[in-house]
Amino acid sequence: MTTAADIMHPGAQWIPAHETLDRAAQLMRTLNVGALPISDENERLCGILTDRDIVVGCVAMGHDPSKITCGEMAKGTPRWVEAGADVGEVLDEMQSHQIRRLPVIDNKRLVGMISEADLAKHLSEDQIATWVESVYATS
């Protein structure tokens, strides 16, 4: 059985909810990633921040990214999977919520992220085609 831990990109890093968007952008650049899980004061997942969120939700709206926190940008209920989850569960979670990045948690700690690139490396062409069709569906 292939698990989330088998296909994830290990070493994901939180951004605390109190950090500003400019700091998040700097961390994204340093880590060469386009998304960061947001943690509350107890290191629990409270959202995911993407580079697009910073551009569209802050900069394009005329706001100063040094004055807006990551927590203020966190919207909705964050989705995640346990490290031991079967790949089918990973795909179901991503497809049913139309998400492209999924944090992987083990013992209440962030251990990795699963992205489109991770799926492309580890899944069959049929699995990828089904995933793309459901996640990118516009209906």
pLDDT of residue 87: 92
pLDDT of residue 30: 95
Query: Side-chain half-sphere of 35: how many Cα atoms within 13 Å?
Result: 18
Element (H, E) at 37: strand 35-39
Please provide residue 121's backbone torsions phi and psi, each rounded to the nearest 5 degrees. -75, -30
> pLDDT at residue 139 above 60?
no
Spatial CA neighbour of 64 closest among 108, 34, 101, 21: 21
| Cα angle, residue 54 at apex, residues 50 and 57 outer, rounded to 5° | 110
Give the pLDDT band (50/70/90) at residue 127: confident
> pLDDT at residue 60 above 80?
yes
CB 135 within 8 A of CB 100: yes
**Greater pLDDT, 48 or 130:** 48
66-117 residue pLDDT tens:
999 999 998 778 899 999 999 999 999 998 988 889 999 999 889 999 998 8
Q: What three-state secondary structure class fits 117?
A: helix
pTM: 0.85
